Structure 1
């Protein structure tokens, strides 16, 4: 029914949509061409005007009265409202103090890039552009999602983007694949989200079509529903973190039965004989056969051998989820899956071989664009030192300490000022008690965001930013064909300003306004950023809409490149003419480069290394349940946790924890009970959901519930809302990648019998 409201195009990381004013708020509808719209859109309507929004600039009282310096009161102090001119004057003075004193290497530019699907009002690009003009900053590399994979894959296969995004398209899986063996699953909840937006959610449809054609799916992991029902998958519920051991047992069976493809290994791979010596036990006296793997992963040896024989001699695709590498030794299952696909001789075949992350993000498996998308230049950062993104607490707590990373010996810088624009490390990071101590160690923490995240609550200076619905922008992604005119729907909330305006005002105070703005308004920037895309389309097709035509239409379909299977397909067809960008030009089953680094926790070929916080460890003897802290199904990371869809999933206001009925019964836990999860690092409350889709001995609690300490004055307070990162370990995957290990840890769970503390995560902090 037409209510007369003006409907405008808009976009988000979880999908393109139409928005319009409705009463005091807004209403939204998914893009009409999307066959499987994301339910996360239901979080949007009540979020724009929620009480969790930051209404005006704030300064922490302790910083205002005592000045910059380390302060344990961060996160527990009250805030003082301040006018924009005053707070920007103070911030400009503090930036000048740090840049003129300890210098740019004392500034950390924090932003994780997920704050907006818009390509201009993109907080990460805006803050990095500004800091680069100031003289640079300490940056981070890689991501929490793919920290280990983004280092190991270039060493053994090639460019991360090529092999994580352009390897096996969905269309090839649908048409050619006979068997999909998915380690860690291909969960639809993950495939609903794509950086920069997605116009069509295709994963479910492609898997359903492949299944209808006769393809078989096997999901390997502790959670049954990590593949959609449409895949009709067989579930092999192995113990968390044991995928490498299972793959070795499969590989050994292939060798013992003579099912491995010797011709492929000889022609296309480097170092297989060294690996086979390890696999068969010739090098260490331990054969990694199915009988060896069975007690580690909790799967019968006969079933392991049967799976190996089932994978041989047919078009098999080995898929590894991003979740596998977010664990101790996370490089190993990624590397071993590539080796397994190589032993099958499948790498580079249409619909076969190895795929990292297919189903983990909405736009993986889609065709790449054949033209550039609008991109705001961040300029050049003259500061060379950096950190792996998951090592922020190490950096802040251990300045001057050396660490290993990808063959280099590096040193943590001494950070005095952290500028965070968009993003919430209290979602991404581990061991939150340690992160609180880390943030207490700096002189000044600046947070520029739209809502009162836990990170904002720990800040000294808080600057309110607009949300996407309150500004114009362009939404686009490199692997989705629809570019969207993201049109403003609402006026800014309170005194919120967009990131560009904030940095332009700061730049004026610091004498770099012309360099930052280049004399353009935000609207002029949109036209400027659109032009390279228009020119590329015109050069390809002879003509292209001008900006006004694009804006009036609300969207535009961009040309895409052929879905050719990417570099591994070209390599398979012509290894001499299209070698891989590795030292040997081939798949590196054994890497002499990695071996030369001498890392005990990442040898020169895939290796099983028992975890210190998992199967067979002392930790599981003390904390007998393995916690899977995976990505949420009801929001993107921690974004819009206060939205309707996310809130509807809560149990008595707490994040739901899934537990097997047998484990629940042993602890006197019933459906809907509030339970306490705990270990040596911390504790949190959650709402129990009994489920046989979880392997016995395993509990699953998604990340993203806003951190809500019951008493912020305590050093290690109970989180009453259910943030699992109060429990997870803050250690790197290995000396090679130093990635995040937050997917798995060991805990105990008990029924909570005390008075339930109220949830205050979404209430603004105290202000004077």
Structure 2
């Protein structure tokens, strides 16, 4: 364990360690300089390696904390929903109104009429964010909840189906043991997928290890680390992965001994790949017509990967955010399996990439939901409910991407409830779920909306009561990552009249007649309890600010299962890696085959809709935002203005020059945004970074550049959000 103390370097300045707590994929160390109760500077880790160094987002946090447009006090809507017209009221008035509306709606329609839309924007710790709201609503008699994680639901499904667990990753230091790394749709230089990933990838590159990037874009990660970039059409990754399997199997390069000992279902997969099942061999030539990748490139990559063992194929979360997302994630898992690159140093099992460290144990699901509305309800048809580590969505829940449809249609549309009220916490759902236009229509139809927020986001502007919440700089908490545990001390007093989610729910519960829900423990007592549950000494953590986790050798997922399979079964139903998943087969859904397959889907490159909307849209994560957080920070906007990436050939065909204002549109909406003409995105594909704020003009054209104006509110058969499945057209914006 290594640790770092707060210290005073000037008589009136204290440096306090804390952690950045928004959902970017990392937990970085911030060293916050405080003078007279005001934060004057934010630095990052300057201690021992490996350093947990913050990016521009974390370093800019002072600008966010003291932003002039922070929400300062509770407000009540006085204009139309979405106008953003509010009046200031007291906390007493605000909570009285929320309580009276919750009681009215419960008594008139039942608890299921209250829909919770909760995200991870103001979360990341232990006692704030959605947790206290869920606890309060359950004590109130229940609520309608959503299922599906926008970031990685398809990947989680694939991990569970193959391995029985989402804990499939190796620690980042193990990349030093790889002879080859394939970064497939993985862009850690921008997404910060783990705080220490990039330093280790830099060392891997310096030692001469071969790195290949497969992605529709030439990402920052490709530019920094890779020797080769292979662009592939969005939504077709599974075809290329299956064609690589064809090359490996027909060349007898698979690790047959590994397959025979640790897996089930290889014969069924082989028959599909070779065309025995359907008469269509999945050759590189077959895949070339689908992916746009030359057959020779596919074959060469397959040979190189299969003969470079140990090799790490790291399949990012982005490709699985598509209409058939679980299929490509499963195909990536299976490719690592048939080459024997699972459970060994230098290999990688793909999957959800989580790994256990610091003595933490795997999460087990509760025996039954604590939400009374859900109790006794059966699992949904696509749930992997027989697996111990699987979340189990039930029929009382609504997929998050169908929430707006459910609000508008209710039980008559086949949904489990007639929604009359929405409670929003740590989320900006109008902006961050697919199909903004439908979201606007749905929110306007509701009887009551309450929102916890820090800024006037798109969702906040639709609230009836708007409650200002504080930031992680203004409240106590504990946060953990594989690399460290952090104590967040609440460095300054809460700005203006903002409160924490926990404080709001504790006070609101009293007005709802459930005052016992939060008891009489203080925030500090709750954090002490949390620390002890994690095996941490709370006094030491408070004193030192953070404790870095050390391990004697790189962590390797499934190492014990491979080294001692008789005593360490995989947490699947069979106890082995499941290339063929019987649990999926029992669902009897042709769109969810028990082996990974290429399944064509709506708004793909060959959809007839390309006659009207010929460009495939991807909505990548952005290095200067965490979803919609930080959009309004001037420092970050100066680094790189928001724009849509379009290939030079596609731009020339439309008379578009770099910097021109263009319209991007389809049947769901239209945005107006500058064009970035570049060779860093493949022809036929445009990239629009997700998270920009929805700012409609008088004609309904979004001037903020919100990607979800253009995306479809559906989900894959396994629950993936299809943020990267959409067809659009781009043209010069009207003059004037």
| TM-score of the pair, normalised by structure 1 | 0.85
Structure-1 separation of matches of 2:541 and 2:313: 41
**Residue 60 of structure 1: aligned partner:** 77
Q: Is the CA contact (8 Å cut-off) linking 1:178 and 1:214 kept in structure 2?
A: no
Question: Could you say what secondary structure the match of 1:399 adopts?
Answer: helix
Gaps of 5+ in 2: 1-8, 22-26, 375-395
> How many angstroms apart in 1 are the aligned matches of 2:669 and 2:466?
27
Give the distance between the partners of 2:277 and 2:530, measured in 1 at CA: 57
| Structure 2 match to 1:408 | none
Tell me the distance in 2 between the aligned counterparts of 1:49 and 1:485.
18
On the 8 A contact 2:163/2:576 being kept in 1, the answer is yes
Q: Is the 8 A contact 1:368 1:561 kept in 2?
A: no
1:123 correspondence with 2:129 = yes
C-alpha distance in 1, partners of 2:227/2:35? 42
> Counterpart in 2 of 1:515?
517
Contact 1:115 1:423 in 2 (8 A): yes
- The alpha-carbon deviation at position 674 of structure 1 amounts to 1.8
Please tell me whether the aligned partners of residues 427 and 703 of structure 1 are also in contact (alpha carbons under 8 angstroms): no
- Deviation sequence 1:631-680 (CA, Å, 0-9, x none): 111011111211134321454xxx22222222222222222222211111
Q: Which residue of structure 1 lines up, in the alignment, with residue 16 of structure 2?
A: 8
CA–CA distance in 1 between the matches of 2:695 and 2:552?
46
> Quick check: 1:151 aligned with 2:157?
yes
Q: 1:3 to 1:630 in 2, by over 3 A?
A: farther
Name the CA shift for 1:445/1:303 in 2 (closer, same or farther; >3 Å).
same
**Deviation of the 1:77 alpha carbon:** 6.5
CA contact (8 A) 2:218 2:680 kept: yes
Per-residue deviation, residues 447-489 of structure 1 (Å, max 9, x unmatched):
0111111111111111111222223x13321423232333322
Alignment check: 8 A CA contact 2:16 2:34 kept: no
For 2:147 and 2:320, how far apart are their aligned partners in 1?
16
Q: Deviations over 1:57-112 (max 9, x none)?
A: 222237xxxxxxxxxx4213632332221221121111112233322222222211
The correspondence for 1:368, drawn from 342, 357, 367, is: 357
1:431 is aligned to: 435
Q: 1:383 to 1:664 in 2, by over 3 A?
A: same
Structure 2 counterpart of 1:728: 711
552 and 106 in structure 1: CA distance in 2 versus 1, 3 angstrom threshold: same
Return the TM-score normalized by structure 2: 0.89
| Match of residue 398 from structure 1 | 409
Contact persistence 1:42–1:645 (CA under 8 A): no
Q: Which residue does the alignment assign to 2:286? A: 292
CA contact (8 A) 1:168 1:565 kept: yes
Q: CA deviation at 1:582?
A: 1.8
- Aligned residue in 2 for 1:719: 702
Residue 546 (structure 2) aligns with = 555
Q: Per the alignment, do residues 27 and 529 of structure 1 end up closer, same or farther by CA in structure 2, a change over 3 Å counting?
A: same
Q: Conserved in 2, the CA contact under 8 Å of 1:370 and 1:561?
A: no
The 1-side partners of 2:484 and 2:100 are apart by: 44
1:684 is displaced (CA, Å) by 0.7
Listed as ranges, the matches of 1:346-425 within 5 Å are 346-356=341-351, 358=353, 364=354, 368-370=357-359, 380-384=370-374, 385-400=396-411, 411-425=415-429
Deviations 1:278-309 (A, max 9, x none): 21112211111111111111111122112111
Aligned to 2:530: 529
The whole-number CA distance in structure 2 between the counterparts of 1:251 and 1:475 is 44
Q: Distance in 2 between matches of 1:600 and 1:75?
A: 41
In structure 1, C-alpha distance between the alignment counterparts of 2:338 and 2:529, rounded to whole Å: 50
Note closer, same or farther for the CA distance 1:748–1:87 as it changes in structure 2 (3 Å cut). Answer: same
In 2, Cα distance between the equivalents of 1:306 and 1:683?
41
Equivalenced residue count is 693
Equivalent-residue separation in structure 2 for 1:604 and 1:494 (angstroms): 55
- RMSD (CA atoms): 2.6
Q: Counterpart of 1:101 in 2: which secondary structure? A: helix
Retained in 2: the 8 A contact 1:427–1:706?
Answer: yes
1:29 aligns with 2:43: yes
Deviation at 1:327, TM superposition (A): 0.3
Residue 690, structure 1, aligned to residue 701, structure 2:
no
Instruction: Tell me, yes or no, if structure 1 residue 609 matches structure 2 residue 599.
Output: yes
Are 1:703 and 2:694 counterparts? Answer: no
Query: What pairs up with 1:248-259 in 2 under 5 angstroms?
Result: 248-259=242-253
Alpha-carbon distance change, 399 to 349 in structure 1, aligned in 2, over 3 angstroms: same
> 2:620 touches 2:687 (CA, 8 Å); kept in 1?
yes
The answer to whether the aligner puts 1:476 opposite 2:479 as a matched pair is yes
Candidates 322, 335, 341, aligned match of 2:336: 341
Unaligned runs of 5+ in 1: 63-72, 195-200, 359-363, 404-410, 538-543, 756-768
2:47 is the counterpart of 1:39: no
